[in-house]
Every structure is written in C-alpha cells, then in structure tokens.
Structure 1
C-alpha cells in the first residue's frame, strides 16, 4: 500500500477543541478544492504547497508508521491526518490503514489518543469508524466550494455522536456567517462548531460579536495558535 505524503512532523495542535495538544501531523498531498479563488479574490488555503497530488513523496504504510514512532516514541501524542485532503482518492485507503494500526496498538496497550483526528474538507464522505475523530469543514459561499459539500455527512456525524467531532466554518464576510447559521438550523447540528476568520478579510473581534449575538449552539472562535507562535511556517 502506497500514498503521497507531503510531510510528517510533530508540533502542537493549532486549532479547534484539541488546540495545544502535542500532535504528530501526517500531511497528505492532493486536494481537488480551491477555496476562496474568484475573479477578484485570491486562494485562501493555508497549505497551497500540498494541494497537488504530485506535491508529495510516495510512502508505504510501514514507512509512515516508523516515522510516526520516531517522533512519538512513547505513543502519547495525538495523531492528526490532514492535507491536502486525507479522504480523497487513494489517500482514503491509506488514512484508514494508518488510523486502524494506531487504534489497535493504543487500545491494546492502554495508550492515550487511540483515535486519529482527521481534518477533512466536507466534500468527502466521512465514516462511522471508531478509529477516526473528525474535524469537518463546511465550505460557505465565500469559498466558492459550497456546492461540493456532501450533506449526508451531517447525518453521519449525528449517528456517530462523538463528543470530540467538530464542524469548522471559515468565514469570509457577514454573508458567510449568516449562511452558517442557516446551515446549523437546517441540519439541526449538535456537533461542536468552530468559527475561523479568513485572514485579512474578517477581523476576529468582529466575528466574535456575530457569534455572541447569534450564539449558535456549541460554537467557539478558533484561531490558529501555531501562526501566533511561529508565523506562517511549514512543519510547526
């Protein structure tokens, strides 16, 4: 089994409810979405260097597990599969194999964080598998990608009923925020909700005011702490 991996490194989780937890990141190469790109506005993806499927190195499952072990010798870090898009195409099969292997080992040896967290863009079907925890984007109108969202994922999240799953809304403007509130109501979302501003287009303080007024259930502001600490660098 092979897959295209852009990078594997250790740091802390930068956003969401797992923010601050020591984490090994496995970044896949390849994503078919191009968020934020319009005639007048630029791509906002914070990992454009991993968008192409050829922007990664072919690696086997054993090689990937060995790299994870080298970074986390005591098996105490959260494992986070990200991208690119870890559930797209051949990445999906490899993601499942990585997560199954880690889950089986950590359950058997009573290690923390047995389930791998997956950051996924909302266009790929998520699963009921217990070896995954999901941070799932819902792409709002400002992304230009809302028509690519798989709405069945909301039903799967409800069935999973996992207290660690989360849905992330990246907000470009007030229209995006209002649409997010509509989606929450239409889909009767009970999962943890993250709001993140598009850097340079929405002031985080303004987004806070919108959240305070509408108060969507189980919602919170999520800023990227790794950028606060290290700036816009890779591998941190």
Structure 2
C-alpha cells in the first residue's frame, strides 16, 4: 500500500475548532481541483506546491508511521491528514489504514486525539468511520469548483453527528457568502461551520459583518494563525 506524501512535520493546528492544538501534519500530494483559477483570476490554493501527484514521495504505511513516531513518540499530538487531497486515488487507502492504526493504538494505550482529522476538498466521498474527523470544504461559485462537490457528503455528516466535524466555506466575495447561506438552508446543516476569506480578495472584517447579520448556526470566522506567526512558509 502506497500513497504520495509531500511532507510530514509538527506544528500547531492553524485554523478551525482545533486551532492551537499541537499537531503532526501529514500532507498528501495530488489534488484534481484548481480553486479560483480563471482566465482573469489567480489560483488561490495556499498549498499549490502539493497539487501535483509528482510533488510527493511514494511512501508505505510503515514509513509514514515511523515518521509520525519520530515527531511524536508519545502519541500526544493531534494528527491531521491534509493535502493535496488525502482521500483521492491511492491516498485514500493509505489515509484509511493510517487513521485506523492510529485510532486503535491510541485507544489501547489511552492517548488523546485517537481520531485523525482529515482536511478534504468536498469532491471526495467521506465516510462514517469513527477513526476520522472531517474538515470538509464546500467550494463556492468563486472557486469555479462547486459542480465537483459530492452532495451526498451532507447526508453522511448528518449520520455521523460528530461534534468535531466541520464544513468550511472559503469566501471570495459577497456572491460566495450569499451562496453559502443558501447551501446551509437547503441542506439543513447542523455541523460546525467555518468561514475563511480568500486572502487579498475580501477583507476579513467585511466578512465578519456579513456573518453578524445572517448568523448561521454553529458558525465562526476561521483565520490561519500559522500565517500570522510565521508568514506564508511551508512546514510550519
């Protein structure tokens, strides 16, 4: 079993409800989406360096487990599977096997954060497995990728009823925000909701004002504190 891994490193979780938690990041390489890119507007992905599958090294479950143990020998950190896209192609099999092994080990020895958090782009089918926690993007019109979203994921999140799952809306403009409100109402979303502004295209303070007016259930502004601390660097 192999997956394409771009990097494995330790830091703190930079966004969402797990923000600030010491975390081992396992970044997969390869993602079929290209968010925001049009003839006149730029790609906004902040990990564009991991979008191509050839931007990663093929690794086995044993190899990634060894990387994890070197960084966190006592298994006390949250584990976050990100990308690229950890549920795409062969990466999905490795993500599943790794998360299951982490879960079983930590449950047996009584360590925190047994379930691995997965940051996924919304185009891949999530699961009901208890060894996963999901931060799932829903791509809004400004991304150009909304037609790639797997709508069944909303039903699965509802069945999971996991208080740690999140849906993330990355907002490019007012059209995006208004569409997010439509999606929340159409899908009757009860999961935690994150709002993040596209850097350089919408002011976070303006996004806050929109949120204050509509006040969707369980929503919060999510800014990337790792960029505040270290800037736009890799591996932090």
Question: Residue 63 of structure 2 aligns with which residue?
Answer: 63
Q: How far off is 1:39 after superposition?
A: 1.1
Deviation per CA, 1:101-120, whole angstroms, max 9, x where unpaired? 00000000110000000000
Other-structure match for 1:23: 23
Query: Could you tell me how far 1:3 is from its partner in structure 2?
Result: 1.1
Q: How does 1:84-233 map to 2 (within 5 A)?
A: 84-233=84-233
SS at match of 1:65: helix
Find the residue that maps to 1:7 and give its secondary structure. Answer: strand
Runs of 4+ in structure 1 off by over 3 angstroms are none
Distance 2:93 2:3 in 1: 9
Aligned equivalents of 1:54, 1:125: Cα separation in 2 = 23
Mapped partners of 2:204, 2:73: distance in 1? 38
Q: Please give the secondary structure, in 2, of the residue aligned with 1:27.
A: strand
Instruction: Identify the residue that residue 8 of structure 1 maps to in structure 2.
Output: 8
**Unmatched tracts of structure 2, length 5 or more:** none
How far apart are residue 126 of structure 1 and its match?
A: 0.1
Distance of 1:92 and 1:2 partners within structure 2: 10
Deviation at 1:73, TM superposition (A): 1.2
Partners of 1:153 and 1:114 lie apart in 2 by 22
Instruction: Could you tell me which runs of 5 or more consecutive residues in structure 1 were left unpaired when the two chains were aligned.
Output: none
Give the 3-state SS of the residue equivalent to 1:54 in structure 2.
helix
C-alpha separation in 2, matches of 1:144 and 1:64 = 33
1:47 has 2:61 as partner:
no
- Note the C-alpha offset of 1:98: 0.6
Note the C-alpha offset of 1:74.
1.1
2:55 is paired with a residue whose SS is: coil
Q: TM-score, normalised by structure 1?
A: 1.00
The separation in 2 between residues aligned to 1:115 and 1:59, in whole angstroms, is 21
